[in-house]
Structure 1
Amino acid sequence: MRAVEAPQILFLLIASMQMLHALSQFIKLQINEIPSPALQARNSRHVGSGQVVRLRGMNRKFGEGRIEVNFGGVWGLICPDKFSINEAQVICRQLGFERGSTDYSIVSYYNAMESAHYSLNGLACEGSERNIFHCRRSSNGKCSMPSHAVFVRCRLNYPSRCSPGGILFKEKCFHFIRDLEYSFDIAEDHCLKIGGSLAVITSQDENDFLSDVLSTLNENIRRPKPWYIGGRRQEGSWKWQTNEIVASSTFSKWDPKGTKIHRNQDCVAMWNQRKFGNDYFFWDAMNCRKRLPFVCQVPAYHIDCIVGDGKTYAGNANVTENGLPCLPWTNYKLKNIPLSSKQLGNHNFCRNPNGASKPWCMVDEKVRQNCDIPVCNKGQVVFDVQDHEECDKDETICTGTKMYHSLQTIPLCGKKCLQSRNFICNSFSYDISEKICLLSTEQARTGGANLTNVDSSDYYERIRPKDQEEKRDAFKVRLVGGGPPWEGKIEVSVGGKWAAICDDGWNISAARVLCRQLGYPNALRSWIGMSNDRNYLMDDVKCTGKERYLNECLFNGWGKHDCGPNEAAGVQCAVIERECFPKKFKCNSSHCIDFKWICDGEDDCGDGSDEDLVKCKLPVEVRLVNGSSIDRGRLEVKFYGIWGTVCNRDFTVHDAAVVCRMLGKQGVPIIEPYQKYGSGTGPIWLQNPGCSGDEEELTRCRIRRWGYSKCSHDEDVALYCKESVFSTVAPKEILSSTECGRTFVSFRARDPRHGYLARVVGGFEVRHGAYPWTAAIKLDNTRHLCGASIITPFHLISAAHCFEDVPDLSLYSVVVGDWDTNAHDGTEQKFGIEYVSFVPGYENILKDDIAIIKLKSKNDSGILFNKYVQPICLPNADAAYPAGMKCVISGWGSMGTQNPRRLQAAEVPIMNPDTCRDPLVYGNLLSERAFCAGYLQGHVDSCKGDSGGPFACLSDGKYYLFGVISWGDGCAQEYRPGVYTRVRDYLTWIKQTINS
């Protein structure tokens, strides 16, 4: 580890400098990126939840409870004095219930305190405010009703806009799945199948709303479980897992006092750990394989609106005000129906066929419930849908209607019919008393727009009606630019002109309509941001998902858009065809599904052919193919009776050891360059099997999920189950003890100011063997701690502070010849430590931070030198350290967020000592036997885990150890260069220690 904790005096000297630069530090997030926990902590003004109003109480339903307000960091009650429905309306809207409150009551409040704490007294609202802090209020004064609180009941957002079980917040329906506990990937697939994704949270209001739902669901649970939402760490960054582009947001709600996030905790969950007095669901990182409940989000349905009692409603609402699904009307014989009889056919949409107070539907054979549908605003389109019941045998088309409210005259209604853009109008009816204009694609003989039994209505139809088939033939769709024919960019044609659809508002509901129109059973994915010029025919397409053709959905009109290039919509449709393999699994029903859905516990095929228990439990087999012998080749795995491959990405030597063991090979495996034995076909069964190396077979490893990978067959694992453990160079290649500082692999570390900076803190990944004197010190045989430099077969130089915290040398090990810490390179040599020598009088990191390590012998020998392992030279006693001379630092230290997998190196210049001792840099903290190197503007530096590693300078074709990486304030920070121990000043001590 590189020490970053400087003494208190360091803080005092640099505090003002940090304040000056704090305001200039801005972070630009990538598309769908979530601010990391570290970034949130840096930007956070407080450690609380940020929530200011909440509802609490025992045995309550969601949307009701005792009102509590956070004022000055303390939760308290609202004084009931003069409280009215106006205040209740404002509080409910602030909580996310757009329709306000239904009622409130004053209740007794008993707790352990003698009297209740009141955060707000004298609250007085007009009722239209969006926030109680816009009302008149007082935080002082005495409440005349002590030990009483206000209990409020909020009106739920329209349940009919969600499928059963969904809870509406703004334009999202959230589904809380707690009966099924899944891993992150299976939870993600479940949400996809219901038309959405795992929850994406981009605001404080949204997180507060979900936290309150979860608090209600977990009210009587002593230890609530975490709930997955849609965040995941990918290549070091946290991102929302959704096909949509999330609006730019810097919001995050990581647990402000959360524990350290470990390397295998890559998925985000909401969790109320009941820490430090907070009853709130913060975010935390979880192992993605853990089975947890989860939160899905689905776009809210557009169910249109009602006029009056809703007798003319023909929208698509099919969920009651209590959230129950409606049953089809088919078996119900109702008399005196004032609408077309076909509007009560084989569908389950809410209707008002008998003049009730509002639309309703049947939820059981003898039970009906009202539907909660918005009331239309003046001039609003009431509905614009198709009733998608199955046509009778003697029918060729079904009724389509469109209604306008508050049109003043019959001519205006007729004009709407003649000028309708994406709706073929053949008839209309106008209700003079209600000012309702009803358009229809049909005429009277086929069930046109006649408001039957409405005395005040007039009916009109075209003399020469437009033919429905003409409508269908005129509008065409196709997919282009994809691999298989069932996916790609969408193009539509009207009158022979082909153009794209803009992705504004494009979602899975529209994708389903498009796929059905193309003859596919469903849609799997909706894509946005596909390549295209500015040629678009449709924009802002809004579908319910139940339309038969895409042009029956709402959109801006042909050719009307505000889209730029590369904003085209695309789709991946579900497939029913003869040939699914090798890219898909073919169900017995001929459906094609992803291999990752096999044996996931759900019948994705619909016929059970992807969940055959016998096949799911078949023994897993492995083989090596296309190699010159049976112990080498491309790795293939047989699962569910199907041979597939394994992705090289994140495949470790531990995974390889298990495979070789399954093949009866007990040697040390070597992972060879992928594509060495060609690319395979069929499924890529595994990515990152997660083996420890001790398992007898792959099924005992921590496999994330069979069939899940983000790889191509160009990345198939190539493996060699080699018997020999370590290969030394031939005797004639072993260097004499007088030679040092030589490299046998050509590589030059680059100056970060010239060319692209691949790794801002850690430098550049080097070739294997480029700096062969660089060694790694590990703790407990696994955790990388520090670096070191080889100087003899038994001695290395490192930093003294590396050994301060753990005095037991038996816990340390030294590895030389390493390059890739996650794989067996075949060149590693590992040693225990016999002793560590410090400079006499060493006290702390600021002075004499250098140590000599003596290795324990191994097979009566020390380090074996070869092209990958070499000693570095010590400098002469009169060696100069001129400012500007560039030297190389190397190691496996942090790159700012995590330790790298492979050895990194960078070239940095020695700084002028006067610059380093400037009060704005390190002042008097820099000792006489230390020096600085790097750049005042930062960008490149050694970091945590590099401590003890080499500062190597090239002279006359050899590298010399001029410095030992010691300390610094942060990593690659402005005005904070790295500090190094000057080896020249310790030569006498080094030689004496080695010789003794």
Structure 2
Amino acid sequence: MDLNTAAFLLGAFLCSVGGTEIEGYSRTEGAWILSLNKRMYSVSNLAECADKCNTETLFTCRTFMYDENDRECWTAAANSKTENIMRRGNTVLYEKNEYLLECANGIGTDYRGTKSRTKSEKVCQRWDASYPHRPNFTPQSHPRADLDSNFCRNPDGDKGGPWCYTTDSQKRWEHCNVPSCSGECMVCNGEDYKGTISTTENGVTCQRWDSQKTHNHDYHPSSLPQKYLEENYCRNPDGDPRPWCFTTSPSKRWDYCSIPRCTAEPSTIVPEVDCVTGEGVAYRGTIAVTESGKMCQSWSAQMPHKHNQSPENYPCKGLDNNYCRNPNNERMPWCYTTDPGKRWEYCNVPRCGVARIQDDPVIPPNEEDCYEGNGVSYRGLTSETSSGKKCQRWSSMTPHRHNKTPEAYPNADLRGNLCRNPDGDKAPWCFTTNPAVRWEYCNVKRCSVRPSEISSPQPHIASIAIQTPPEKDCKIGNGETYRGPTSVTANGVTCQAWSAQTPHSHMSFTPETHPTKGLEGNSCRNPDNDVSGPWCYTTDRDRIWEHCQIPDCVEMKCGTPVIKPKRCFSRLVGGCVSNPHSWPWQISLRTSIGKHICGGTLIYPQWVLSAAHCFESSKRPSAYKVFLGIHTEQGNEPSKQERRLEKIVMGPNRADIALLKLESPAIINDNVQPACLPEKDYIVSSTAECFVTGWGETQGTGGDGVLKEEGFPVIENKVCNLPDYLNGRVQNNEMCAGYIEGGSDSCQGDSGGPLVCYEQNKFLVQGVTSWGLGCANAMKPGVYARVSKFMDWIDTTIKAN
């Protein structure tokens, strides 16, 4: 199913969460569609614009666009299935759901999709054409049947469903390959199955996708909206051989569902033979050699590597011979190798139009992570929008189709999902992973800050520059002097720029009227000395202004380092050398004579989280000490704080986690700060941005003796426990993280250290480095104690001691 069908099925959801709901339409913010048949109206409100589309007479209106600022309304004959969607600020695109639906209800008399091939793959003849067949049904004779272009329709109520005249002179007409909307059958491996079967093949009832009972999992409907994880229906969100679900049985975490195969053939793709676009899912070329020169194993063979990526399990993925393919939506085409010592590798398939672009290279980090001018040259690592939404990958077409690809903009450095400015907009931006919001500007500040304004001169006294406090994200008193970066209200709404007059027009507080109040950008400020603290105008048209949630500076903060981390994704064992003191919760656990043995995480001034196996040699507190505030393993910096241990508390049920109580609390400063703790039973999303830090073994990659960092994707336990991975070894109170192709991992000496994930503008410790099968091996990610599963134990232990 393509994005446009997805838009229909999510229509009600998108309208309700993204803004004003218009019945029968799907809503996309910041979007515009090109159409030769369009008409502009001046209207008073959104409802009036929708009415213009519903009563349009010049053409069949499938879409309307509404500009709130100018009260402009455009009706159009095209939609996202027939034309490209463009970026356009302040405009909302509404598409009629009936024209997005690519399945038939009943016999399909109301089908208005864009299928234009018959079951035997013959191209349909246009309804208004008279060659090669003179039609009995035309747009003029049946104006209500929507006989547009050469799309399949059912104007005569044929019991066989939608049909068309063909362009084959020997075959006048034929039924089309339009699936039933009931969805109780699957094509390919069922990734597009949207039916309502909710029991496994063994008769067990499925668990709801939005529930964490009976089994915790990472497949959140909110974070995977394009996967349609509704109710407790069987789905295939991860590219398995067929649909499955978590079960309501405590003894069976998940199981496959019994979904029959559809009789209709699956929809065809346009094959890419000589090169690839995006992730290369459509590649059907004949390259059969990996990046390192290894010959590929045949997909139908089980030697030397056993696997389930077979032509039988994945009938639509082109698994012919031993050619490189991408059946499971990896980064690029790959194959199993004929080398028994190397299970699989990516293939060196060229990208269409340009020399191959490495999608996840080692990026020299910009330590300031800020942009100059309009940010066209920005090459930082931010991948989050100003409102906290995660960016969509530039090479991906879901949830938003676009033309801002690495191939189309080879000089724009469109790698991964990093914020960029390929089209010369006013600041770096990205498409978002939220289907309802097409794009937003990114959470990146300008490198150059406007100089402080000069106070009004007094007689015979030179003008004095007003000094503002440093940009700490906390306030003193009511926050009149607050100059921090927060630009979101207490309710999570993005702030409107103080210099902007949309969506809310105001002249009371602007950089010109209050030049000394720090009203540059859209950060929260208190220009009128409000007793309740900093506030801002909002980007929500229904809320003119709101207060911001700025903590007091005296309050101890967690998870917000003063020195910004590099947030490195290098795919190297040991990762990148960290900015000194950018991970201020990292501690070094040492023997009593000062030898580093493990890492740990400061979670309160007097408490550290580490791994139980770090204390196998001795459980006496006097045998250990902790260094805080250091960057080098040698630990001789002036910032070092040294503490003896008062108590060691081992985790419950022999879990590999431990709490350490320091003899005296750490002094919280710029170099020493606790990480935040997660909510109880919270499951980290596979899309989360997570990092491991430590002084562990680097296996010759450099940076020995200094703190290193590495960004990892989290791998759902269902995947991690597959036979190809860790084969059922991972427990419910553990989690996996790493690259499935290997190349980067936590290693010896990192044990007990933090796995932190960046969420809501702070770092939360989600894992404690525990174990792994070797270091950085393919299909063998690192395993971490899942901190959220131990929150009751952490709270009880600290309160009791």
Which TM-score applies when normalising by structure 1?
0.25
Higher share of residues assigned helix? 1
Which TM-score applies when normalising by structure 2?
0.31
Higher share of residues assigned strand? 1
